[in-house]
Amino acid sequence: MWGPYLADHERVPEWSKETLKILRGLAEDDDSGVTVREGVEATRIEMDPPAWIADLEYSECPPTELPDGFVRGWQYAIPVADMPVYLKYLEDRLKQAGGRLEQGVVTSLETVTPVDASVVNCTGLGAGELAQDADVVPVRGQLVEVENPGIKKFFGEYCQEGAEPTYFLPHGNRVVLGGTHERGRTDIETDAESVAGIIQRCVAVEPALQNAKILNYRVGIRPSRPKVRVERVRLGSRHVVHNYGHGGSGFSLSWGCAREVVNLVLDIQQPPDREGDVLPYPPADTQLGSPSRRMAAWISPPKS
């Protein structure tokens, strides 16, 4: 779901706002896996709402509508993605734009980059080794997928960094329940104690989840870093544009950071005629300015 969390950089507000705009546009496309969903974010201690809430239309929840144990909350609508559908959609778009996918393990940024060319490094946690960056830290997160007993709105706990957030997100006939915040842990085994804790906390917020049938367990590792790294470095005559360390906000910052990356790559290449290429994306109603036009130009198929 969109909402900056566990990611630090002075440009997070700009990147997340740009991403919000594009995701809202994508939600108009039934094939994208992105929809705009209403829900509630609430806190157990007296806190002001996150600053990014100013980018949304929101209203304060009446205290009577808050779950037990919560003292303040806000209602708003945000883009959420069914990730397998969204990733497939992005893959198809890449291919339509003339891109090619090859899978393999990269052992050196230098040898993978052709001489006088550039490579974009989006290896998440892998950047720790590949870019020899000791600041990259894993923060494990666990999810439980259950049958949807009829829940239509998401719920998210706004809590201090490091705490275990409680949240659930309906996706059609499934609901994804979370979560955990396990710093330094990289194993991907399902942890029964965490599962029990997630279910217990979610049921306390939404009793309808009490007997929901468990469908699946999922574990992911957030690639956390004290500061998101989006920058260009030189390796001799080669260039690497780093784009990693997005912690719990990889989806929420994705389009804003991608635009930044494209601009960095174009600045390296300085092609003379990219600005005028045909723009297959983003959808016309997203009203994007010049930098995004440059990004769309970059993913356009080469002219024959």
Which is nearer to ligand FAD, 128 or 282 (by Cβ)? 128
Q: Choose between 253 and 297: whose C-beta lies nearer to ligand FAD.
A: 253
Under 8 Å between Cβ of 4 and 18: no
Indicate the SS3 state at residue 126. Answer: helix
Q: Name the minimum Å distance from CB 245 to ligand FAD.
A: 8
In the complex, residue closest to ligand FAD by CB: 126
CB of 244 to ligand FAD, least distance (A): 5
What is the closest distance, in whole angstroms, from the C-beta atom of residue 271 to ligand FAD in the complex?
26
Distance CA 56, CA 52 (A): 8
Measured between alpha carbons, how far is 146 from 166 in angstroms, rounded to an integer?
15
Taking the least distance from each CB to ligand FAD, the nearer of 73 and 179 is 179
In the complex, which residues of this chain contact ligand FAD (CB under 6 A)? 1, 105-106, 122-126, 130, 141, 143, 178-179, 220-223, 244, 246-252
Cβ-based nearer residue to ligand FAD, 73 or 247: 247
Shortest Å, Cβ 21 to ligand FAD: 15
Specify the residue, 246 or 259, whose C-beta has the smaller distance to ligand FAD. Answer: 246
CA angle 10, 11, 14 (to 5 degrees): 140
Of the pair 41, 277, the CB lying nearest ligand FAD is at 41
Strands (E), the chain: 34-43, 58-60, 72-81, 118-121, 137-147, 154-157, 167-171, 174-178, 182-183, 214-224, 229-235, 238-244
Q: Is 115 exposed, middle or buried (0-12, 13-18, 19+ CB in 10 A)?
A: exposed
Q: Are 16 and 249 in contact (CB under 8 A)?
A: yes
Q: How far is the CB of 106 from ligand FAD (least distance, A)?
A: 4
Q: In Å, how far from its chain's centre is CA 120?
A: 18
Q: How far apart are CB 93 and ligand FAD at their closest, in Å?
A: 16
260, containing H or E segment: helix 254-269
